[in-house]
Amino acid sequence: MLPYLSVRALLPAVAALCFLGDTRASSCASTRTLTVVRREGPDRYQVEAQVPAKPGAGTMALDPKRHLLYLPTARFGPAAPPSPEEPRPRPQTTPGTFEILVAGAEP
């Protein structure tokens, strides 16, 4: 298993993290990038690939049999104005724009 601190040092803005065996880890960071990391030794890791993702694609699910990652997202509109109850409102999703991005290695 990959040590948490080593992965955090390599990918400081991790939003989601999936493990496939103990030699690969995939993460979706707030940088809108899906990063695949390969373990090369006990304390050595190498970035294997970086794939562009879409805004909001910070949650991730792994299909370990098919080696696919699923990242749900949608388009976002403007955030509501700040209020005492919600000082930092988040942008609202645009109805009808939900989609699931699918990523995996080419055969």
Express each pLDDT in 44-103 by its tens digit. 778 888 888 888 887 888 888 888 888 888 998 999 999 999 999 988 899 999 999 888
Between the CA atoms of 23, 64, 11 and 45, what dihedral angle is there, to the nearest 10 degrees?
Answer: 10
Between the CA atoms of 40, 102, 32 and 95, what dihedral angle is there, to the nearest 10 degrees?
Answer: -160
pLDDT bucket at 29, cuts 50 / 70 / 90: low
pTM: 0.71
Q: Report the Cα–Cα distance between both ends of the chain, in Å, rounded.
A: 25
Q: How do the domains of the chain map onto residue ranges?
A: 4-104
Q: Is 9 exposed, middle or buried (0-12, 13-18, 19+ CB in 10 A)?
A: exposed
Higher pLDDT, 17 or 87: 87
Rounded alpha-carbon distances, angstroms, from residue 102 to 2, 20, 61, 68 = 24, 16, 10, 7
Q: Which residue in 61, 62, 60, 58 sits closest to 76, CA to CA? A: 58
